[in-house]
Amino acid sequence: MELFELLKKLNNIKPDPEYVEKSKRVIFSAPQLMPESNTWGRVMIGIRIGAVTSLAAIAIIFVSGLFGGKPSSVSALDPVAIRAEAQAIDIQIELTKFGYDNPTTTLKMIVGQITSGKSDSPSKVGENQTDESTSTGEVSINQALELLTEENE
């Protein structure tokens, strides 16, 4: 009976309100050690998100491949892409047709074509064939030399 009374008293024991308030403040002001709070944690989260996104993308591609319309590999039959590639070859053929009356011009055309990505039409390209143009501008090196061989007769 004495023990029972003692337990009842224990049940009524309450912490000091000031202590409770102080403890709460200490707990809430403590730093939250979440994984993203440091660089490694952020990297790990990034990896996890990346992995999940990739898996989702793979799954979508797989599913659309199974149940979608034409399979993705059919893009290999895209007539526009095929035509573009064929045109690139035709342009290259036209460039080599300049011959070697003036290989430097041919070289400039080949290099210009590749670096600028321009697709000069054959007729436009051909216009330069008769004009033995070089890095000199309108009068070519050979034309100037020819003039000098005639000049002093």
Partner 1 sequence: MNKSFFKKIIFLSITLLLVGAFPFNTIAAEDTAVCNLTNKVAELNNLKNNNEIDYIEKRDAELELGKEVLLETINCAVQEAIDLKTELIKTSIKDRGLADLKTRLSADIDQAINYYRINQGGIRDLDSLGLKKLAQKILDWRTSNYNYIAGKVANLISWTNNQELFNVAENRFAQITKITDNLESSTDKAKFTLREAENSLSEAKQINEQARTDLISFNAPEVSLDLIQKSLEKLSNVYNGFSALSEELNKILPE
Given 25, 36, 61, 78, the residue binding partner 1 (CB under 8 A) = 78
End-to-end CA gap in the chain:
145
| Amino acid identity at 151 | E
Geometric angle at alpha carbon 18, from 13 and 20, rounded to 5°: 65
Which element (helix H / strand E) includes 125? Answer: helix 122-130
Q: Is there binding between residue 131 and partner 1 (CB under 8 A)?
A: no
Given 73, 116, 123, 130, the residue binding partner 1 (CB under 8 A) = 73
Given 86, 119, 126, 131, the residue binding partner 1 (CB under 8 A) = 86
Q: Is there binding between residue 74 and partner 1 (CB under 8 A)?
A: yes
Q: Which stretch binds partner 1 (CB under 8 A): 24-32, 38-46, 122-130, 140-148?
A: 140-148
Given 44, 49, 61, 141, the residue binding partner 1 (CB under 8 A) = 141
Please tell me the distance from the alpha carbon of residue 88 to that of residue 83, in angstroms, as a whole number: 9
49 vs 86 by CB, closer to partner 1? 86
Please tell me the distance from the alpha carbon of residue 146 to that of residue 141, in angstroms, as a whole number: 9
Least Å distance, CB 129 to partner 1, is 14
| Amino acid identity at 70 | K
Percentages helix, strand, coil for the chain, rounded to the nearest 5? 75, 0, 25
Report residue 116 as tokens. 């600028």
Q: Is there binding between residue 135 and partner 1 (CB under 8 A)?
A: yes
Task: Catalog residues that contact partner 1 under the rule CB under 8 A.
Answer: 69-70, 73-74, 76-79, 82-83, 85-86, 88-90, 92-93, 95-97, 99-100, 102-104, 106-108, 110-111, 114, 134-149, 151-153
